[in-house]
Amino acid sequence: MIRHLKTFYNYRALLWEFVKKDIKLKYRNSFLGILWSMLNPLLIMVVLTFIFSNIFKNSIPNFPVYCLTGRLIYDFFSQATNQSMVSITSKSTLIKKIYVPKYLYPLSRVISSFIIFLISLIPLLLIMLVTRVKLTPMSLLAVFPLLSLVALALGIGLFLATVNVFFRDMQHLYSVVLLVVMYMSAIFYSVDIINPKYAFVLKFNPIFPIIAVFRDCLLNGQITGSGNWILCAIYPVLALGIGLFTFYKQQDKFILNI
Amino acid sequence: MDDFIIKLEHVGMHYRKTTQKVDSFKEYFIKRLRKQIAYEEFIALNDINLTIGKGEVVGFVGLNGAGKSTLLKLISGVQKPTVGKVTVKGKVSPLLELGAGFDNDLTGRENIKLNGLILGYSKEFIKEKTDEIIEFAELKDFIDTPIKNYSSGMRARLGFAIATVVTPQILIVDEVLSVGDGRFKKKSEQRMVELIKSDATVLFVSHSLAQIRRLCTKVVWLEKGQIKMVGPTKEVCDAYEAYL
**Distance between B205 CA and the closest CA of chain A, angstroms:** 14
The verdict on pTM exceeding 0.80 is yes
Any domain includes A10: no
- Beta-carbon contacts of A174 under 8 Å, excluding residues fewer than 6 positions away, are A81, A82, A85, A160
Query: From the candidates A14, A18, A249, which should be mutated to test the interface with B, based on the most B CB atoms within 10 A?
Result: A14
Using DSSP, how many helices (H) and how many strands (E) does chain B show? 8, 9
- Beta-carbon contacts of A179 under 8 Å, excluding residues fewer than 6 positions away, are none
Domain that holds residue A109: 16-256
pLDDT of the residue at B1: 47
For the domain covering B54-243, report its CATH number. 3.40.50.300
Residues of B in Cβ contact (< 8 Å) with A99: 76-78, 92
Provide the domain count of chain A. 1
Any domain includes A6: no
Residue B75 and residue B94 in contact, taking contact as beta carbons nearer than 8 Å: no
- Is B15 part of the contact surface with chain A (CB cutoff 8 Å)? yes
Top pLDDT among A192 and B31 is at A192
Any domain includes A103: yes
Average pLDDT over residues B26-42: 70
Q: Which residues of B212-234 are buried (b: 16+ CB within 10 A; e: fewer)?
A: beebbebbbbbbebbbbebeebe
Any domain includes A207: yes
For chain B, domain boundaries: 54-243
Q: Alpha-carbon distance B196 to B219, whole Å?
A: 14
Per residue in B183-232, pLDDT (tens digit) is 887 888 788 788 778 888 888 888 888 888 888 889 999 988 888 898 89
Supply the Cα-derived Rg of chain B in whole angstroms.
20
| DSSP letter assigned to residue A141 | T
Q: What is the DSSP string of B148-180?
A: GGS-HHHHHHHHHHHHHSS--SEEEEES-TT-S
Residues of B in Cβ contact (< 8 Å) with A97: 76, 78, 94, 96-97, 100-101
Residues of B in Cβ contact (< 8 Å) with A167: 23-25, 28
pLDDT more than 70, % of chain B: 88
Residue B208 and residue B59 in contact, taking contact as beta carbons nearer than 8 Å: no
Q: Alpha-carbon distance B127 to B110, whole Å?
A: 11
> Among B41, B95, B58, which residue's Cα sits nearest to residue B218?
B58
Any domain includes A150: yes
Residue B114 buriedness (CB in 10 A; 0-12 / 13-18 / 19+): buried
Tens place of pLDDT per residue across chain A (258 aa): 788 888 888 889 999 999 999 998 888 878 888 888 889 888 988 898 888 888 887 788 888 999 999 999 999 999 999 999 999 999 888 888 888 899 999 999 999 999 999 999 999 999 999 998 888 888 999 999 999 999 999 999 999 999 999 999 999 999 999 999 999 998 888 888 888 888 888 889 999 999 999 999 999 888 888 899 999 999 999 999 999 999 999 998 888 887
- Is B42 part of the contact surface with chain A (CB cutoff 8 Å)? no
